[in-house]
Amino acid sequence: MSILSGKTGLIFGIANDRSYAWFIAQALLAHGATCIYSHIPGEKNERRTRKAVEALGVTNPILISCDAGSDADLDRAFTEYADKAAGRMHFLIHSIAFADREHLQPGRFTATPRASYLSAIDVSAYTLAAMANRARPMMRDSGGGSVLAMSYYGAEKVIPGYNVMGVAKAALECTARYLASELGQDNIRVNTISGGPLRTLAASAVGGIDKMLEATPRFAPLRRNVEGTDVGGTAAWLCSDLSAGVTGQNIYVDCGISIMGGADPSTPQG
């Protein structure tokens, strides 16, 4: 039996077939899960998400429009999900983030406007708590569940150009820990995955992403950049009963680059 057989859940964040959410969906489906997918409101966004999901081999995928920055829209989306999934939810994937592109450049953090700072935290971090709150009754009635969000090492260390997104990801990781503490009584686990740099639509907005992708194979212990399938496999494990004792954790899936405090002298520097 597949490790996710009989499990159903909701995935936020599939923008195209290069996003981490897409690779997570791929792994969940491969292990027997049933997935429902959220998309940003608008016909163009719906078509883009539908195309990406159909590329996974899913015929007639169930898509739900949701503006995560609106409480009313979150209420509607989770009500719609409950109706389509018969009130069952075993996993929730939060793979969304937002920050104004113009403030994701090296040397621009100090000038971040208040509105941009707060909107980054709202969409990238607060939404995890908002979604978990709405998912809780369904997960509790389903015998428990797994909430999973995507983070990055810029939440802990300064990554030039990551700027306010690093602040938002730090808030996201802390939010996950507080949620894990509170939801554990309902057998709901909450974890984050800190994925390495991946060339995604969101990552393209970060100044210096090309340098990150160039440097990682030189300095990471595995001597390569992370692949979407690496994160997908970890997500499948975290959504399965195989990780039943794991909650409140930030799991690094970055080919080991986060453990390095300096360049390995034996590594060719080019």
Distance separating alpha carbons of residues 68 and 77, to the nearest angstrom: 9
Q: How many CB atoms lie within 10 A of CB 266?
A: 5
Catalytic residue among 20, 37, 117, 162: 162
Q: Which residues pair with 251 in a beta bridge?
A: 193
- Residue 103 in 3-state DSSP? helix
Q: Report the Cα 248 to chain-centroid distance in Å.
A: 15
Query: Does 252 participate in catalysis according to the annotation?
Result: no
Question: Which residues are CB-contacts of 70 (< 8 A; sequence separation ≥ 6)?
Answer: none
Amino acid identity, position 139? M
Would you put residue 144 in left (φ > 0), alpha (ψ -120 to 50) or beta?
left
Residues 20, 152, 153, 252: which is the catalytic one? 152
* 152 included as an active-site residue: yes
Torsion angle of the four alpha carbons 75, 78, 80, 85, in this order, in degrees rounded to the nearest 10: -160
Cα torsion through 115, 120, 123, 124, rounded to 10: -170
CA separation for the pair 225, 257 (Å, rounded): 9
Q: Are strands 188-195 and 250-253 parallel, antiparallel or unpaired?
A: parallel
Which of these, 88, 166, 182, lies nearest to 125 by C-alpha position?
166
Going 31 to 35 to 41 to 42, the CA torsion angle's sign is positive
Question: What's the DSSP call for residue 191?
Answer: E
Active site residues: 152, 162
